[in-house]
Amino acid sequence: MSNGLPGGPPADGADELRGPTVLRMILGAQLRRLREAADVTPDQAGYEIRASRSKISRMEHGRVGFKDRDVTDLLTLYGITDEQMRARMLASARHANAPGWWSKYDDLLPDWFEQYLGLEGAASVIRTFELQFVHGLFQIEAYARAVTLLGHKTAPADEIDRRVSLRLKRQEIFTSPELPQVWSVMDEAVLRRAVGGRAVMRAQLERLAEVASLPQVTIQTVPFGGGGHAAAGVVGDGRGCIAAVGGRTRGDARPAGAPCRGRQPASGHDSGGPVRRRRSRCRGRLVHHLALR
């Protein structure tokens, strides 16, 4: 994935799944580089746009949208006079403000999970670890509904339908021409726990066998006989995910089941490193590939 600043609007379904998240991160990183090159402090930049140091930080990490006036003022402060470059960055800012496909689910999602969805849609590599449930990218509708009901038993039927629809929408990455490499590690308990009943679980296992046949997908299990494993010590709540976007790793978003707590690492830092290293140490012990056919 290029780290350039695209100047045109999204062109296809892959761009719809990707959404504005990564574009905001790219534009924010570019603004940070320009600020540092101009030897301008975050406080000075914040003063220039009538805001605070914290807003500059949020902009540079792609956590907020961009106002045309703010971008224009910052580019002037940083000494950027090239009209073509200014026009490209302003166009990128407008595209970065476009709502993602998940915006219609805003009332169901915490802010951090909305950002994760953008990262997931743009990732070149996705690594997941699960102790309890099949990862959301692999869930069939009946299984997703059963998992959703576990955490929202009193929710009205239309809310349950929307939550399930959200999970299924994420799976459109498997029909994208830019399908990422997906490595999913599951505890044996995930395969033995009959979520939704035996019929639902049988269909879910058949779906796992189907996606496991894709060349970009690797599904492995941690057998009960293997004892403890290092990944469980990192993701103590039973699930974890690392998404690599444009060669950089974004870790600890943990979106696997229903939305849960998480954090967005500082842009440009490989915060997924400790998780990835421990998970790689586990790999030698994951001797059982999924065998369901």
Looking at the DSSP assignment, which residues form a beta bridge with residue 181?
125
Amino acid at 252: D
In this prediction the pTM is 0.69
Torsion of CA 84, 85, 91, 95, to 10 degrees: 150
d(CA 240, CA 185): 10
> Angle, to 10 degrees, between the axis of helix 21-37 and the axis of helix 111-122?
90
| Token pair for 190 | 């995930």
Q: Tens digit of pLDDT per residue, the chain (293 long)?
A: 333 443 344 444 555 566 788 888 889 999 999 999 999 999 999 999 999 999 999 999 988 889 999 999 999 999 999 999 999 999 999 988 888 888 899 899 887 788 788 888 888 899 989 989 999 999 999 999 999 999 999 999 999 999 999 999 999 888 878 788 999 999 999 999 999 999 999 999 999 999 999 999 999 998 888 777 666 655 545 555 666 665 555 444 444 343 333 333 333 444 445 444 444 444 433 333 343 33
Report pLDDT for 251. 45
Give the pLDDT score at 166: 95
3-state secondary structure of 288: strand
Q: What is the DSSP string of 61-119?
A: TT-S---HHHHHHHHHHTT---HHHHHHHHHHHHHHTSPPGGGGGGGGS-HHHHHHHHH
Residue 246 confidence (pLDDT)? 55
139 within 8 A of 204, measured Cβ to Cβ: yes
CA–CA dist 27, 184 (Å, integer): 31
Maximal C-alpha separation, the chain: 65
> Which residues partner with 248 through β-bridges?
245
Say whether 251 sits in a helix, a strand or coil. Answer: strand
Domains (range + CATH), the chain: 13-96 (1.10.260.40), 102-289 (no CATH)
SS3 content of the chain, % helix, strand, coil (to 5): 55, 10, 35
